[in-house]
Amino acid sequence: MKVTVDVDCTPAEARTFLGLPDVTPIHDKYVKTVLDSFDGVANIEQMETMFKSFSPMGDAGMRLFRQMMDIGLAGVAGKNGDKS
């Protein structure tokens, strides 16, 4: 027997239901810091350096994230029978 339940709620409602903390103030501060940093950026290289400094674990974090995305996409392609 297979049962499927669809829940229609906002992300905030889902976080509350699952008991996860509200990180909105932290998110807002992070976004404000990033946007304020853009004021002094003159070229693409500076922007790339700035983003790497904001990401957790710098370059290693970015590589890890890219690897996880590649693995996830490969898994989805494998389930769908795609050879790409």
Q: What is the pLDDT of residues 33-73, one digit of tens each?
A: 877 777 766 677 776 776 676 666 667 777 777 787 788 77
With contact defined as beta carbons under 8 Å apart, do 58 and 52 qualify? yes
- Categorize the per-residue pLDDT at 3 as very low, low, confident or very high, splitting at 50, 70 and 90: very high
The pLDDT value given to residue 72 = 78
Q: Based on C-alpha coordinates, what's the Rg of the chain?
A: 19
Within its chain, how far is the Cα of 44 from the centroid? Answer: 21
- Residue count of the chain: 84
- For residue 7, give the amino acid letter: V
The pLDDT value given to residue 78 = 65
With contact defined as beta carbons under 8 Å apart, do 12 and 22 qualify? yes
Give, in degrees to the nearest 5, the angle at Cα 70 between 66 and 75.
150
Average pLDDT on 7-14 reads 89
